[in-house]
Amino acid sequence: MPILSPEPSIYPADLLEHVDGASEPDVRWWALYSLPRQEKQLMRRLHAQATPFYSPVVPKRSRSPSGRVRVSHVPLFSGYVFLYGSGVQRHAAMTTNCVSRCLEVPDGRQLSGDLRRIFQLIATGQPLTPEARLEPGEPVRIRSGALAGLEGVVIRRANETRLLVAVNFLQRGASVLLDDCQVETLC
């Protein structure tokens, strides 16, 4: 069986660098909730339509019954694809037969910042743990190491200190183990 390369999870590639969530009056963030297991198909169709989107995708390792290691690329937030576009582009996305419902994001600036931090976290290549429940904690910034400059909340899980980067709109996030990083508190 051929091994497929990862498909683009962001279009255009520099989307998060130029989006602030409030640049044009008609263009905004939309959270598309896909039909079950249709996130990648939705991303393919949005890419074909040249509609800007982002869906965080992370590698997941598993073993086949014969013991072979397989790596698949799965959405970090199952069921969600974030579209950045106009009402016309949203309507075109709804006609792909991959979308269950669509939510308008009330605070585009916050979502842009949250998605930018998630993108940075994925780019480090460290293993991530999806977090479905957010707990209050102290906000910090990493001062050194591979995660330098990243902001998040320090949490403890199973006697480990982890950095939680949240997407507040979804009330979900991802966490990464903090090894030898220096953190500073944010005021």
Percent of the chain's residues with pLDDT above 90: 54
Classify 3 as helix, strand or coil.
Answer: coil
Give dist(CA 101, CA 99) in Å, integer. Answer: 6
pLDDT digits (tens, 9 = 90+) for 71-120: 888 999 999 999 999 999 999 999 999 999 999 999 999 999 999 999 99
pLDDT higher than 90, residue 13: yes
Asked whether 99 and 42 are in contact (CB, 8 A), the reply is: yes
pLDDT higher than 90, residue 57: yes
Domains and CATH numbers, the chain: 1-123 (3.30.70), 126-187 (no CATH)
pLDDT digits (tens, 9 = 90+) for 143-172: 887 888 888 888 887 788 888 999 989 989
Separation of CA 90 from chain center: 19
Give dist(CA 107, CA 87) in Å, integer. Answer: 16
Asked whether 28 and 108 are in contact (CB, 8 A), the reply is: yes
The whole-number pLDDT of residue 1 equals: 44
The whole-number pLDDT of residue 46 equals: 97
pLDDT higher than 70, residue 126: yes
Q: What is the 3-state secondary structure (H, E, C) of 9-31?
A: CEECCCHHHHCCCCCCCCCEEEE
The model's pTM is 0.85
Sequence-distant (6+) residues with CB within 8 A of 125 are none
